[in-house]
Amino acid sequence: MIEPIDEFSFLPEQAADLGIDAPLPHGERVRLKLADGRTLSALRYGDGPPVVTFLHGAGLNAHTWDTTILALGLPALAIDLPGHGDSSWRADLAYTGRALAPDVATGIETWTAGPQLLVGQSLGGLTAAAVAASHPELVRELVIIDITPGVDPNAGPTQISGFFAGPTDWATRDEMVDRALAFGLGGARTAAERGVYLNSRMRPDGRFEWKHHFAHLAAAMAASPELAAAAAAQQDAAAGVLSVTGWDDLAAVTAPTLLIRGDHGYVTDANAAEFQVLVPAASVEVVPSGHNVQEEIPADLGARLRTAAGKG
């Protein structure tokens, strides 16, 4: 694959795919040092203060929202969750909504100038709910995409776990693209090349690795049955607690709340019915998509979010 000039060089191609011929928003990478020395990183788009903030799912990064933000047409912020993108990994491996929420709140306070339309997909959705519950002054409206408490945000097709349980480093990004395509991931090769470039980095020794921590954890567990068994037991023990805390977070949210679920995503009819019973003030919309709504139907999602932001 041909290495692009910078991380925003894909925007013209993505805009063309959507049929957008308006001037592209200015994009910049921003970073801040957290109190414990870790780094939180994000992408900021547009010339004014962000009015919409986006949180991605497990194993993804802030660039998953690029095309949706182009369709949105509003100043926006997309945060790399800790352990993902250019944000630092967590030594405690605590990648849950409540654990990630304080860092995200710090980012919103630093990089925005008013309450946000806060949009989170999968793990980002659970994190967004925790932020809205603990920092209501930062959230004007909450949109959760294809996740509810009790649905594993790290779950997915069986090829995902097998894909990340492979090697942790490669000689070239082309090898990473070939592996993604072999597992049926990434779509067309050009899209897979874009995704690999934005979700990988070159190490000091010249080899390439995934940016997010999950791939490295998956590979470690694949190499150690004992570690995998211990992790599975820990996950089973924590699942009930995380479900309860997730519902508690949603119950504490005072901002208007919308769940957008794919008609063939992770959220089942039963999950959605439970959501409507336990969060009766929230709205639910079903869209023709799988789990990664922002990548499958970005134009539709961008239009919906623009309406939610009061600009539709």
Domains of the chain by start residue, with CATH: 11-149+242-308 (3.40.50.1820)
For residue 261, how many C-alpha atoms fall within 13 Å in the half-sphere facing its CB?
Answer: 20
- 135 catalytic per annotation: no
- 122 catalytic per annotation: yes
Tell me the pLDDT tens digit for each residue of 224-277.
455 444 444 344 434 444 567 889 999 999 999 999 999 999 999 999 999 999
C-alpha of 109 from chain center: 19
Active-site option among 56, 63, 135, 291: 291
Is the per-residue pLDDT at 68 higher than 50? Answer: yes
What interhelical angle do 225-252 and 97-111 show, nearest 10? 60
Mean pLDDT check: name the lowest of 20-24, 33-37, 132-136, 304-308: 20-24
Active-site option among 66, 80, 146, 249: 146
Residue 254: which of 163, 170, 112, 133 has the closest Cα?
133
Query: Which tokens is 257 given?
Result: 């709340």
Containing 40, the helix (H) or strand (E) segment is strand 39-45
Active-site option among 122, 213, 249, 289: 122
Residue 62: which of 33, 27, 90, 37 has the closest Cα?
27
Residue 250: which of 89, 110, 101 has the closest Cα?
101
Is the per-residue pLDDT at 6 higher than 80? Answer: yes
- Using pLDDT thresholds of 50, 70 and 90, give the confidence band for residue 90: very high
The amino acid occupying position 30 is V
- 146 catalytic per annotation: yes
d(CA 183, CA 181): 5
